[in-house]
Structure 1
């Protein structure tokens, strides 16, 4: 039993914030939008990738602004 708990703890330590933050929108996207045929699935994947690019760009920009702000204070 103790060995199983340690395995679960190691699993959660390995999960990054990106995996968590991208799993939820992907799940909601595929639940909400139609996936009746292959074309709709491709559209959903394209929308998801564009969202990922947007989220990454926003986070990169905020890190850059934070770094510039920190450097200007010192």
Structure 2
């Protein structure tokens, strides 16, 4: 169980090898025109035993249907 705890801590928030601290700055030009979030609903949960850049383990990938003030957006997946 010790290794599972360390993996869940290391990859908490979906941080993998492609995550970087400037993620919010890189997303801003795409995200800003959509406006504020008006509604967000869970659309799908997929279970996986492996994810790119992460050690094997038990994962759940969440997808959300999000409605923005500017327009309806695509499903969003925290990464």
With the length of structure 1 as denominator, give the TM-score of the two structures: 0.32
With the length of structure 2 as denominator, give the TM-score of the two structures: 0.30
> Which structure's residues are more often helix, by fraction?
1
Instruction: Using CA pairs under 8 Å that are at least 6 residues apart, name the structure with larger relative contact order, 1 or 2.
Output: 2
